[in-house]
């Protein structure tokens, strides 16, 4: 068995750089990291004794998986090229070390830093791409589709692909949490249950709390679950409003150009509403943990997320699927163009963003707004009443919202 011998310098993980800032030592402790450091010289390969029993098998699997990740990252950097290739490698393998700092800063200032962090967005887009492709493929065989539950087959395929994505991306904490959330929703589809409900979100949250309870106080857990909960409640309220409107006024089908314009406006409105809801739900936690806020995040997400959702991630899935056949040239070219477009949008908004530093805020202020949010639930995951307490503004109700 081959190992490495080298000289290195080790240091204890650093704490917060200022009061109430992010504590790296806290996360390192629960990740099992006692020290960080760097090599003083190049490591030398040496032969070491193999690990006993199952530990040897785990070590071999881990080494093979790491080799696969590095091979994928190298191919992406070679085929896409430039800084866009580094971003492509980060989106698929989670290796973000080669991204230029200017790119990172543009994304942070524009409110698009979440694009680089493999999380629920990436898992969901990969799953939806697989489900859409599978349903489209099954539609070619109407006889088979009419006799078999192709919807469940597509959900099962998406679950397997997302598990592979979890492994290839490095199985980071955010990716694990996102996979748990998505797995609960896809399993709900397999058992003929509603996928996007507060109950399923609670199951996913319980799974994360049981496996990694320390994540509850981290930014990833708080921002992921607050955004998902807000989106479920927001679109539940929209569905209830639409049903009431249809009950008062029957739906009139649009044709031709009017139908196309309606679909385009509906898509733009959906993206804007998603960005507004998720951004509002996570801004407070971002300010508390990082002391930063992006004033132009809504506009940047409205411009960039259609490219990420419709170009970058679908082409990434197509590239991985065709890579064994050496047919990944055109998907990676499309992915590179999409990444370049997203970075141009981020740069444009970053140059026009005023100072985004907010400074530290009191813990009491951070706890007051979330604790003032209350939703009443009844059977079938119905959200009967939601009230959000805003200091100085009273209470604003949203009633009769039914989840999807």
Query: What is the rounded end-to-end Cα distance, in angstroms, of the chain?
Result: 53
Q: Which of 102, 124, 139 is nearest to 228 (CA)?
A: 124
**Residue holding tokens 């199985």?**
171
CA distance 197 to 200: 5
Kindly report the number of other CB atoms within 10 A of residue 379's CB atom: 5
Distance CA 259, CA 256 (A): 5
Nearest to 92 by CA among 282, 349, 328, 346: 328
Helix (H) or strand (E) holding 330: helix 329-351
Instruction: Kindly list the distances between the CA atom of residue 52 and the CA atoms of 1, 2, 49, 121, 338, in Å, as whole numbers in the listed order.
Output: 12, 15, 9, 40, 47
Split at pLDDT 50, 70, 90, the class of 332 is very high
Where do we find the tokens 């193999």?
A: 50
Predicted pLDDT at 89: 92
Q: Is the pLDDT confidence value at 10 over 90?
A: no
Residues 180-206 have pLDDT tens digits of 888 888 888 888 887 777 887 888 888
H helix intervals, 148-218: 150-168, 173-190, 198-211
What's the longest Cα–Cα distance across the chain? 77
Query: What 3 state SS string does 339-391 have?
Result: HHHHHHHHHHHHHCCCCCECCCCCHHHHHHHHHCEEEEEEHHHEEEEEEEEEC
Residue at token pair 């209470």? 395
pLDDT at position 390? 41
What global pTM score does this model have? 0.76
The whole-number average pLDDT for the span 275-291 is 81
Mean pLDDT score, 112-117: 86
Q: SS3 for 396?
A: strand
Tokens of 10: 């080790």
Count other Cβ atoms within 10 Å, centred on residue 26: 15
Token digits for 249?
């006024």
Gap between the Cα atoms of 300 and 304, Å rounded: 6
Specify the pLDDT at position 389: 42
Q: How confident is the model at residue 160 (pLDDT cuts 50, 70, 90)?
A: very high
Percentage with pLDDT > 90 across the chain: 21
Report pLDDT digits (tens) over 304-315: 888 998 899 999
Report yes or no: 166 and 160 within 8 Å, Cβ to Cβ: no
């Amino acid at each position: 068995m081959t190992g490495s011998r080298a000289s290195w310098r080790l240091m204890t993980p650093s704490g917060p750089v200022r009061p109430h800032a992010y504590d790296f030592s806290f996360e390192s402790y629960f990740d099992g990291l006692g020290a960080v450091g760097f090599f003083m010289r190049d490591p030398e390969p040496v032969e070491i004794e193999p690990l006993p029993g199952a530990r040897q098998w785990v070590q071999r699997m881990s080494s093979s998986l790491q080799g696969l990740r590095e091979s994928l990252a190298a191919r992406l950097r070679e085929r896409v090229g430039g800084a866009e290739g580094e971003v492509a490698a980060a989106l698929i393998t989670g290796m973000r070390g080669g991204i230029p700092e200017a790119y990172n800063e543009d994304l942070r200032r524009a409110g698009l830093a979440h694009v680089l962090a493999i999380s629920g967005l990436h898992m969901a887009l990969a799953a939806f791409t697989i489900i859409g492709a599978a349903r489209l493929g099954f539609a070619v065989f109407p006889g088979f589709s009419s006799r078999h539950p192709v919807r469940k087959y597509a959900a099962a395929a998406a679950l397997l692909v997302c598990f592979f994505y979890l492994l290839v991306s490095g199985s980071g904490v955010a990716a694990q949490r996102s996979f748990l959330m998505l797995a609960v929703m896809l399993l709900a589809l397999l058992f003929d249950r509603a996928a996007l409900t507060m109950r399923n979100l609670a199951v996913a949250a319980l799974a994360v709390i049981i496996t990694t309870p320390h994540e509850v106080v981290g930014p990833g857990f708080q921002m992921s679950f607050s955004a998902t909960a807000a989106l479920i409640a927001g679109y539940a309220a929209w569905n209830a409003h639409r049903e009431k409107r249809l009950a008062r006024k029957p739906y009139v089908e649009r044709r031709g150009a009017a139908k196309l314009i309606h679909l385009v406006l509906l898509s733009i409105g959906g993206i804007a509403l998603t960005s507004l809801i998720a951004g509002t739900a996570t801004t407070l936690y971002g300010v508390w943990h990082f002391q930063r806020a992006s004033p132009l995040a809504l506009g940047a997400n409205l411009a960039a997320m259609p490219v990420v959702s419709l170009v970058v991630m679908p082409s990434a899935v197509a590239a991985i699927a065709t890579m064994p056949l050496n047919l990944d040239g055109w998907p990676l070219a499309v992915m590179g163009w999409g990444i370049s477009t997203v970075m141009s949008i981020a740069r444009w908004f970053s140059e026009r963003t005023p100072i985004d530093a907010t400074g530290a805020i009191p813990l009491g202020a951070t706890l007051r707004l979330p604790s003032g949010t209350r939703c009443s639930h009844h059977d079938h995951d119905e959200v009967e009443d939601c009230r959000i307490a805003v200091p100085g503004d009273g209470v604003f109700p949203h009633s009769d919202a039914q989840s999807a």
